[in-house]
Every structure is written in structure tokens, then in C-alpha cells.
Amino acid sequence: MNNGYHWLDTVVIAAYFVSITAYGVWLSRKIKNSNGYFLGERKFGWWIMMGQAFGTGTHAENFVAQTGASYQLGFASIWYQWKNMMITPFYWLLAPWYRRSERTTVGEIIEDRYGKKMGVFYSVFAILYFIFAQGALLKGGGKVIAVAMGDMLTVNTIVMVMSLAFLLYSFFGGMVASAHANFIQAMMIIILSFLLIPFGLKAVHGFPGMREVLNGNFFSLFSNELGMGAFTITMLAINGIVGITAQPHMVSMCATGSTERAGRVGQTYGSFVKRLVTIGWALTGLIVAAMMIQRGQHLEDPEMAFGFASRELLLPGLTGLMIASIFAANMSSASNYMVNTGALFTQNFYTKYMQKHPTTKQLLWTGRFSGVALTLLGILFALYVESVLHAFLFLETIAAFMGIIVFGGVLWKRANRYGAITGVTMSFIVYYLLNYLDTGAVEIVYNWKPDIFGWAMLAGFGFFILISILTKPEPEEQTKQFFDKMDRLSDADSLDKDGKQPLARKHGKDLILIDLPSWFTKERWKNFAFRYREDWTGFLLATAFIGVLIFIAWGILQL
């Protein structure tokens, strides 16, 4: 079966591209100020939040990397994407942190916790993170689209075309357009990811046909031989739970909902949708591997597998729809990153060092122009990076090192700026030193290795704790104000008599993870079941979903 790229696909791409861009620009008419541009005025419903979590967290490099990995290594490679699944229930516990902070960026949250200089330090990291993230998703999209179009255009040419498109989309649309577009693209990616499978199974004569030509290890859910054993999965999970707390777009992902629960549902179950769709990507990789063997062919680059499947398996028009969805998914993800980049620069640099009393108009346009300027560096990174999988894991790793100060700073009141900066610095030093000793080469992006990552994290947290204990604590009033916000609802209909938001404990919405050491006090356990009702019930339900997804994957592999 070889449908190839058809003229009808070009028509579909053009029509879809024009319509989704026009929709984003049309939504931009609602943006009147920086709050609307950066946060959508915190009015999104839970369904929009789910779509935003899935859409922003799912872009081309994800299915490019996963399909390529399973094509080369087998189904067990799904844990490169599923690394966060075991800790997804914690998203339910973490999400309210960002809304209760009452801030626009994670940089401002860091400043509230550790002081102005640490806020600047984090903001520099966050901007670099967005540059790398945009580069990875653009390269991933370019790889898929180039192959799906029959190599009519080079990967880097597509990167440039895609960049021009989302820069226009992002400049006007803001968070409102990004969130709504993400919801639409999420639906399309879900449908089209699974649409490849029936066509693929027919092409390879079903599971019996695949089992005839593929090694049995390709159908394992876990594989020590492929380096996907318990230790690797554990390291990937630690990478995920610590790293996600410091990802710069977490405020937009968790704090733009109309309620705290909307943020919880969106971040947690939008992520579970991604875990479900990942099964389809992994299975597609197996299908392409079988197709290549049956045809006596091979792919020069495993990360071309998803684009190959789209071109070879889908009917005319559907290939174009898949390509259009990849374009739009990347545009909406890049839009989210660009808006957040503009927010970081505006809130953490412009208002503090350049214009301390800006007008609403100045904030809005500064956010737009700074987002464009910094995004151009992301495009340059896209032209540099080759392996999308390693770029993806590199992003997660540097976020995990920075997550030491966010994760540790919320769980432990005694944490201070000296421990935070030392912990992050040592984790990077150990990571790059061990990689250099292992490879003998100096690189920006090393292949991710669980043992090296583990030692780096151990060093980072060790120095974080040690130096915090040995140096003076943060000012008492500063720490008190930070944690007082965490103890109060951010979406209450009315204020208490003291003019503050009501205490969450009175409504069953206290946060379990806040100041973990206090778990060793009697006060923490008083009326536990009611005080933490929202946390523990949501956590248990999310944990049950993990079992369901693993069972689905296991069941498919038994066919």
C-alpha cells in the first residue's frame, strides 16, 4: 500500500491552516490588556484546561520521538514518554500551587520564595528553556511533515515556514487563542494518532504478521535489555515529578482555569489523555518496523517513522489533515511558549529594571515584541539540534535540576536562596562532568542516562539541604506570606472578615504536600480526612487511571 502525497492533501493543508490561523486572530479581539494576553483572565473551563494541557504538552517531537524509539527498540520504549505517568496523580496535588501564588510567572513565584535575585536567575533559565523547547518541537514537526510530504521540502525549510506561521499566530492571539486552539488540535491529534493503526495493521497482516518478523522483545511492556527496567523508569519518574514543578509554563497550565479544580482536572487528566495516545504512537512504531522488514527496506533516521506511516498508510486528504494538525499543534504549543516567554521578560525584567510604572498598553506590546525576539533564538536551536528524543529528554532534565528549588522550596520552609543556588549549580556540574568523563566529548545535549541523572539529582538535593541548614534562613515575614497564600483558597466567592481569602482547611482543600516536615507534628493529622479531602480523593482516582492505562497497553500486546 503506497498512497503517497496527493494534491488533495495540499488543499486540505491550505484550508485548515487558513481557518485555524483566522480563528486564532479572531479570538485576539478579546485581548485588551496584559492579564488577558498572558493568562486569559483566568476564565477557562475544565475542558479547555484539559485541551490546553494535552495540546501544549503534546507536539510533534513527542510522537516523532516515541514512534521512532518503538520502531528501533520496541514497545517498552514507551516509558520514555510514560516516565511521568506514575507521578501524574501528583499533578492533582501540585496544580493549586500556581493559582494560589496569585502570580503571572513561575519567576515571580521564585522571587516571592527566595528574593529578587533568585527570581531573575530562574527567569534566565526559563527563557532558555523555552528557546530549547521551541527548537525541539519545530525540529520534530519538520521531520514528520518532510517525510509525510514525500521530501518535497527539507526539514529545515519546513521549520522556517512553520516558524513564520506561528509567529503571526502568537503575536496577536495570546493565551486565549492558544488555549482554544490547543483544545481543537488536541481532538484532531487524538483521532489521527489512532487512525493510522487500522490501516497499518492491514498493511502488515495484523499482529500475526508483525510477530512473524519482529523480535519477541518488541512486544514487551518492560525490558531490562533495552535499558527500560525498574531503575530507569524510577529515574525518569523522579525527573518528571521534580522537573514539572519548574517548567516555566506551569502558571498558564494550572492557574488560568476559572477554579482550582479546573486547573487540577486540566493538568491531571489532560496528561492522562497524552498517556493514552502514546499507546497509539508506540504501536505505530511497531507497525512501521514490520513494514520495513516485510519490504526489505529501512529508514535512515528512526525518527522519520511517524511521517512515513502518515504518507504510506493514510488515504488522500487524510495525510493532509494529519500534516495540518501537526502544523497547528506546533503552532499552538509554540504560541503558549511564546506568550510565556513574553510574560517572563515583561514581568521579571521590563517592569523591574526598564519601566517600573508601565501602562497597560506598554505591558501588552512589550510582551508581544519580546516574545517574538526571544522565539527567534528557538528557531536557531531547531536548525542545530538533530535528535528530537535527546532534545526532549534534555529539556526534562534541565527542568528537573531547576525543580530542586521549586519542589524543595514548597515542601520545606527552611529552604533558602543559598541552598537553592548551590543545589542547582552542583546538579549541573555533576551532570556535565559525569557525561564528559563517560563520553570524552563536550556537548550541550548529551544522551540521557539514568545513572548520571541520578547522581546529579542526589548531589543537587544534598547540597540544597546541607547549605540551607548551614546558612541563615529567609526573612520570616517573607516565608510566612508565601506559605499563607498556599493555605488559602484562590477561587472563593467571598473573602473572610479579615479581608483575606478563606483558609482552605475549612473547605476540605488544604494541600498535603505543603511543608512536608510538618507531617511529623500532631497538628498536621487533626481532622485529616476532611482537611485534605480534595487532595486525597483526587489522588486516589488518578492512581486508579494508571492501572487502567497499563492494563490497556498490556492487553494490546497480548493480541
- State CA 448 to chain mean position distance: 17
Dihedral sign computed on CA atoms, order 271, 273, 279, 282? negative
For 307-364, what is each residue's pLDDT tens digit? 788 888 888 888 787 777 777 667 667 777 777 788 878 877 888 778 777 877 788 7
Q: DSSP states of 319-381 as a string?
A: HHHHHHHHHHHHHHHHHHHHHHHHHHHIIIIIIIII-SS--HHHHHHHHHHHHHHHHHHHHHH
In this structure, CATH architecture of domain 7-391: Up-down Bundle (1.20)
Question: In 10 A of CB 206, how many CB atoms?
Answer: 13
488 DSSP β-pair partners: 503
- Helix 305-313 to helix 116-148 angle, to the nearest 10 degrees? 40
Q: Is residue 138's pLDDT more than 90?
A: no
Categorize the per-residue pLDDT at 214 as very low, low, confident or very high, splitting at 50, 70 and 90: very high
User: What is this structure's pTM?
Assistant: 0.82
* Element (DSSP H or E) covering residue 449: none
Alpha carbon distance 422, 429 (integer Å): 10
Apex CA 66: angle with CA 61 and CA 67, to 5°? 105
Residue 20 DSSP SS3: helix
Domain boundaries, the chain: 7-391
Alpha carbon distance 255, 253 (integer Å): 6
Q: What is the pLDDT of residue 423?
A: 97
Do 272 and 501 meet the contact criterion of CB atoms below 8 Å apart? no
Do 306 and 284 meet the contact criterion of CB atoms below 8 Å apart? yes
Categorize the per-residue pLDDT at 390 as very low, low, confident or very high, splitting at 50, 70 and 90: low
**Mean pLDDT across the stretch 95-118?**
93
Q: What is the pLDDT of residue 14?
A: 82
503 DSSP β-pair partners: 488
